[in-house]
Amino acid sequence: MDEWSISDLQQRLGSGELTSVQLIQNYQERIDSLDRSGPRLNSVIEVNPDAARIASQMDLERKDGHVRSALHGIPILIKDNIDTHDRMQTTSGSLALEGNYASKDAFVVKKLRDAGAIVLGKTNLSEWANFRGKPSVSGWSSRGGLTRNPYVLDRSACGSSSGSAVAVAANLCAVAIGTETDGSIICPSQSNGIVGMKPTLGLWSRRGIIPIAHSQDTAGPMARTVNDAAILLSALTGVDAEDPATRKQKPARQTNFESQLTNSGLKGARIGVARNMSGTNPSSLRIFETCIEVIKSCGAQVIDPSDVRNYNKFASTEVEVLLFEFKTDLNKYLKQLPADIPCRSLADIIKFNEDNKQRVMPFFGQERMIAAQKKAALSSQKYKDALKRNRRLSRTEGLDRAFREYKLDALIVPSGGPVWLIDLVNGDAINWDMESTSPPAVAGYPHITVPAGFISGLPVGLSFIGKAWQDSKLLQYAYAFEQASQIRRPPNYLKTIEFSTTL
């Protein structure tokens, strides 16, 4: 089953060569052999005990001639901060939320089930989506343990959607869902050699997802191919009356993204090169130059350079906004949990963590949470000023200015550099070559990463950043690049990177 796409699976399901029940069994065997033994990737925090039963139902529907969508009978893993109304918990990797069985599906999960997809299980993540301690260890949670990079096992899987990225890379599912506030889809995707997309804020509903900050949070698809990401993006797009951000959609945007993908998707496009966001790693830059030549060969007009002003000028106010919104948004989510969940506020979570610090905080603390708890309400002028500044610098005087000034359809930049060694003592290394994520995250604009190359066996990605609501165009550009470059290759599960030197 290595590298089988959704289309491959549907062909086999349609011909009778394979059933969804068999597919579930095969993926569960892979999870047992790769995730829980063997290299012990530890990407899946919980397997759905009802997956086989649901698969049987989908097989019966197919036999009766009823195929709901391209996702009918397809096993999908979702991040453990997304509500599922079933026998699986939703904990954001935290022991504080053990026993949290959601009273209803998140909007995106309901869309999955309506499409006939099978929720195979939940994936591990950086606890609380990497918004608990500073520094932290990406891919580690007190409930799920440490997720490892399948390419080189002593390297970080990045986060916070580490489990989703690793599971896709190791072929433990067809596709997966992650979430991002700033980098939590893009970093693990590029670091694990897969396609990951952060859609325009509001393309997917956030209802039923444990929040960090409503001004930046979104879920998104994680897949081995752009085509599979497009299929998943199409299925879960829609207006949700309970998420005001989705009301900005127009009906035309609820479309079949997959049908618009062609090998000539870059022909005639004006693609800008954000040199000032490209980092300093010499190996990454060499790969980036190769990517630029591929894009030119696809018929795009490359405008080089097309620098983005102010891309690094709002770091402090971004954190300020996240702290304010985290307190308000998390309290709102926790308040509606079942009555038997004792932690019903951020203050309760902080106390639980302190009372159970040997289990919850053996490697890092909860500085982010403590700082958030001190914040006032969202009516605070300090919050309003910070949010206004972020949007001005990231949109009006940042990305929008670059798109307008250079007459661009999209920007390209290295997604990041090679991922760092796991360090449980000091936490994550500061990756100075991860400049791609903050401008589109703060602006709420679409961002997709595609495999671009390897450095000492570690994957790195190429980012396409687009205008608001231009998700379809961004997918077209990424698909054309992917088809022309064909970089993706499955992991080898190396224990470490070994270098030989000769004098």
Q: Phi and psi of 46, rounded to 5°?
A: -160, 135
Q: Are 109 and 84 in contact (CB under 8 A)?
A: yes
HEC sequence for 30-52: HHHHHHCCCCCCCCEEEECCCHH
Q: Are strands 44-47 and 118-123 parallel, antiparallel or unpaired?
A: antiparallel
Count of domains for the chain: 1
Band (pLDDT 50/70/90 cuts) for residue 252 is low
Q: How far apart are CA 296 and CA 350, in angstroms?
A: 52
Q: Phi and psi of 209, rounded to 5°?
A: -115, 130
Residue 499 lies in a domain: no
* pLDDT confidence of residue 498: 85
Nearest to 117 by CA among 35, 211, 26, 20: 20
pLDDT at 250 over 70: yes
Tokens representing residue 78 in the block = 């979702």
User: 21: part of which helix (H) or strand (E)?
Assistant: helix 20-30
Please count the other Cβ atoms lying within 10 Å of the Cβ belonging to residue 365: 17
pLDDT at 378 over 90: yes
Which of 245-259, 277-291, 467-481 is the least confident region?
A: 245-259
Residue 154 lies in a domain: yes
Residue 260 lies in a domain: yes
Band (pLDDT 50/70/90 cuts) for residue 503 is very low
Residue 454 lies in a domain: yes
* pLDDT confidence of residue 253: 59
Average pLDDT over the chain, rounded to an integer: 96
pLDDT (tens digit per residue) in 142-199? 999 999 999 999 999 999 999 999 999 999 999 999 999 999 999 999 999 999 999 9
* Residue 399 belongs to domain spanning: 6-485
Residue 376 lies in a domain: yes
What percentage of the chain exceeds 70 in pLDDT?
98
Residue 492 lies in a domain: no
| HSE, side-chain direction, 13 A CA sphere, residue 454 | 16
pLDDT (tens digit per residue) in 308-345? 999 999 999 999 999 999 999 999 999 999 999 999 99
Residue 496 lies in a domain: no
Which residues does 216 contact at the CB level (< 8 Å), separation at least 6? 180, 181, 182, 201, 321, 322, 441, 442, 444
pLDDT at 500 over 80: no
pLDDT (tens digit per residue) in 186-212? 999 999 999 999 999 999 999 999 999
pLDDT (tens digit per residue) in 10-36? 999 999 999 999 999 999 999 999 999
pLDDT at 432 over 70: no
Q: Are 186 and 437 in contact (CB under 8 A)?
A: yes
As a whole number, mean pLDDT of residues 71-99 equals 98
Bridge partners of residue 75, in order along the sequence: 118
* pLDDT confidence of residue 431: 65
* pLDDT confidence of residue 499: 73
* pLDDT confidence of residue 502: 47
- The catalytic residues are 79, 160, 184
Residue 466 lies in a domain: yes
Q: How far apart are CA 89 and CA 141, in angstroms?
A: 14
Q: Are 6 and 234 in contact (CB under 8 A)?
A: no
CATH of the domain at 26: 3.90.1300.10
Bridge partners of residue 197, in order along the sequence: 448
Q: Are 429 and 335 in contact (CB under 8 A)?
A: no
Q: H helices then E strands: how many in the chain?
A: 17, 13
Instruction: Categorise residue 486: left if φ over 0, alpha if ψ from -120 to 50, beta otherwise.
Output: left
Nearest to 98 by CA among 85, 107, 89: 89
